[in-house]
């Protein structure tokens, strides 16, 4: 495959940030990620800002350097390789174009990326396997102009109360899905103040079952707000809002760091369920075991208490979730 694809992935960068926050040494991080110690050392030196390492910021710095390296070229092999590498990291074509636009170099369109995937498929390639929605769906997207309309009544994060950004109160949650080798997936929900995570396995990442999983998972926690990714699996957010009596918002497209808690937690979950995991072969008990491990892990920002020590569920809406003193 070549040296180009040996670079750290976005999820690995989130894992590095999480491990650093726990005070784990560079050598141990390298061992856990099956990477060389020099790779981890180089990453921390190159993408650290203000003496701190942040997974999302490190990814943006890396992406910006790659954009600059390719800015004088149009669809040259280096750019195509970069696009293919992002696809293998399971970024959607729209997200890939979004990262290009962030540095004002929209060198390819998402339609071109879908056509490239189709050409690769016909030639016997495997790029289509890395799409969240497989070939049957992405072929329908050719020539389609609007994507955001796929989520009716969507309320953007710009309408979310500023207090949510402060992480000063319990009850504000973030949600996403972790996809596997087959149709089954994990729905992941993270509380912003404590970092407590709730994980549910679903047979497929479709709107109905995803909404049911979220309602069941968050019911005991009486959430105030829920901020979601823009995937179509969250199209039934109105039902979530009604059943949980909470406000639901959506991050801006291509701004995954606006759900930083969820992104970092998904990186930790990938330690236990690496890319390519067939969640149909994973039991609910195994998912619960991972949830328990994450919620019992001491966090530096919580004065080395665990999320489950900091947050408790309350059944009455007027009380809501509460921080444990």
Shared domain check, 108 and 23: yes
Shared domain check, 195 and 279: yes
Domain termination residue (choose one: 148, 177, 196): 148
For 279, the token pair is 């969640």
Residue 77 is predicted with a pLDDT of 76
Report which of 239, 254, 55 is spatially closest to residue 157, judged by C-alpha positions. Answer: 254
* Averaged pLDDT, groups of 10, the chain, 325 residues long: 56 87 89 89 83 83 67 61 81 76 67 83 77 47 43 91 89 91 91 93 92 95 92 93 95 68 81 88 94 86 83 48 45
Residue 275 is predicted with a pLDDT of 82
Shared domain check, 310 and 270: yes
Shared domain check, 182 and 287: yes
Q: Got the DSSP string for 133-170? A: S-HHHHGGGTT---SGGGSTT--BGGGS-THHHHT-SS
- The CATH number assigned to the domain holding 279 equals 3.30.420.10
Shared domain check, 161 and 144: no
Residue 140 is predicted with a pLDDT of 38
CA distance 228 to 205: 14
Strand partners, 178: 186
Count structural domains, the chain.
2
Residue 260 is predicted with a pLDDT of 66
| Other CB atoms within 10 A of residue 61 CB | 16
């Amino acid at each position: 495959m070549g040296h180009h694809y040996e670079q750290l992935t976005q999820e690995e960068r989130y894992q590095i940030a999480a491990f650093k926050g726990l005070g784990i040494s560079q050598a141990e991080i390298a061992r856990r990620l099956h990477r060389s110690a020099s790779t981890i050392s180089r990453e921390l030196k190159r993408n650290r800002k203000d003496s701190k390492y942040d997974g999302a910021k490190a990814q943006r710095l890396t992406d910006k350097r790659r954009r600059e390296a390719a800015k004088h070229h149009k669809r040259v092999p280096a750019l195509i390789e970069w696009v293919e590498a992002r696809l293998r990291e399971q970024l959607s074509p729209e997200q890939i174009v979004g990262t290009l636009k962030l540095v004002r170099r929209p060198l390819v369109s998402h339609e071109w990326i879908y056509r490239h995937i189709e050409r690769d498929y016909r030639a016997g390639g495997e790029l289509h396997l890395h799409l969240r929605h497989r070939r049957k769906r992405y072929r329908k997207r050719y020539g389609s102009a609007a994507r955001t309309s796929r989520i009716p009544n969507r309320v953007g994060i710009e309408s979310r109360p500023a207090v949510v950004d402060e992480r000063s109160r319990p009850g504000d949650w973030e949600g996403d899905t972790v996809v596997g080798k087959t149709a089954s997936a994990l729905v992941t929900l993270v509380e912003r103040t404590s970092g407590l995570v709730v994980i549910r396995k679903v047979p497929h990442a479709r709107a109905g079952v995803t909404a049911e999983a979220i309602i069941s998972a968050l019911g005991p926690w009486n959430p105030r707000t829920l901020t979601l990714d823009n995937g179509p699996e969250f199209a039934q957010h109105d039902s979530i809002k009604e059943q949980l009596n909470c406000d639901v918002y959506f991050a801006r497209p291509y701004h995954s760091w606006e759900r930083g808690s969820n992104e970092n937690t998904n990186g930790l979950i990938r330690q236990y369920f690496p890319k390519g995991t067939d969640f149909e072969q994973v039991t609910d008990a195994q998912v619960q075991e991972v949830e328990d491990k994450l919620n019992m892990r001491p966090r530096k920002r919580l004065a080395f208490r665990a999320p489950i020590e900091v947050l408790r569920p309350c059944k009455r809406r007027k009380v809501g979730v509460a921080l444990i003193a």
